Chain A
């Protein structure tokens, strides 16, 4: 942690909202990327970012500097986003049969190039990601979207590197299998 960041955190711990704003300016895009990676929906991702910064202001006094600040923030964002997904699951947005997988509509299937509409593809990716356990999802998103190293992921989720590698491996395998048609089409 550099000196500037340590000062910002200390000011924020004393209730300085200007310090929080500086942290916001520094991190909001990265946190949005993580939140969007989980929920894959603009408004929901923005709500999550907002919620994370309010939570951060409330709980930053608990940050003792044992881990790096960004991994602390990333973990908070991931937990908030996964909680949000759990709440939203009560209202399924698409008609998908989880047992049989995502069914392409007949109309889309009849298209000459068989390329799906962007939104439909996004829905399929979201559905596939939602089949992962929260731990697998966290490892997968931290690695594939935020590009964190195994060590950084381990710090952010509070697990060992071996556990992270295992979650990432099984998560990847599962999503690859569920998105087989699209992953192979890319070749």
Chain B
């Protein structure tokens, strides 16, 4: 091996792979006629390539790809038809999607709505009398019912003649 082999051998693989610049190419080609070691190294690379590549090329040439496309179509169809587990998973995915994209804004809207309307509803409800104490007095002509609100100093007296009559309030 000549002295310049060490610098050329770095380029030899690139030269073999046709990845050298024109300058590098002429450098290698100027060296090769005088160096059997580098020629042998190139030859080894070439033999290895043949050994690896030729059986593959032969296999490709012989191959007719029987039913390959049909099998691909069938494979795609099978993927499109989900099984029970896949359906369940996709449903769960939808749930999580809802949780992330739909449920959170919806819950936020409901909470806001409750916060806005709750005081109004409470106010409205509390305007109705809460009757807690009942006193019932029967007589021949009238029946009297006396209610007292929880709030002090408010008394409701119902006076009615029969079951169908509207009660009178005071």
Seen from chain A, the residues whose Cβ lies within 8 Å of a Cβ on chain B are 17, 20-21, 24, 28-29, 32-33, 36-37, 40, 42, 45-46, 49-51, 53-54, 57-58, 118, 121-122, 125, 129, 140, 143-145, 149-150, 165, 168-169, 172, 175-176, 179, 182-184, 186-187
- The answer for the CA separation of A115 and B151 in the assembled complex, in Å, is 113
B60 at the interface (CB under 8 A from A): yes
A168 to B49, CA, bound (A): 12
Does B116 touch A at the CB level, under 8 Å?
Answer: no
Secondary structure at the A interface, as helix, strand, loop or mixed, is helix
Asked if B145 is at the interface (CB within 8 A of a chain A CB), the reply is: no
Contact of B75 among A46, A50, A121, A183 (CB under 8 A): A50
A126 to chain B, nearest CB (A): 10
**What's the Cα separation between A168 and B56 when bound, in Å?**
19
B44 and A37 contact, CB distance less than 8 A: no
Separation of A167 and B71 alpha carbons in the complex (Å) = 35
Given contacts A40-B55, A46-B68, A144-B53, is CB(A17)–CB(B73) below 8 Å?
yes
Taking a contact as CB atoms under 8 Å apart, the answer to whether A28 and B60 are in contact is: no
Number of residues on chain B facing chain A (CB within 8 A): 30
* A53 smallest CB distance to B (angstroms): 5
Cβ 8 A contact of A179, one of B51, B53, B60: B51
Given contacts A24-B69, A125-B55, A169-B13, contact A42 B49 (CB under 8 A): no
Chain A residues with Cβ below 8 Å from B55 are 40, 118, 122, 125
B59 touches A144 (CB 8 A): no
Seed contacts A37-B56, A182-B51; 18 additional CB < 8 Å A-B pairs: A24-B72, A37-B52, A42-B59, A49-B65, A50-B68, A51-B75, A54-B75, A54-B76, A54-B79, A57-B76, A125-B52, A129-B52, A143-B17, A144-B49, A145-B56, A165-B14, A176-B44, A186-B51
B43-69, CB under 8 A of A: which get 1 and which 0?
111011111110111011001010011
Q: With an 8 A cutoff between CB atoms, is B150 at the interface?
A: no
Given A150-B17, A175-B48, A187-B43, is A54 in contact with B72 using a C-beta cutoff of 8 Å? yes
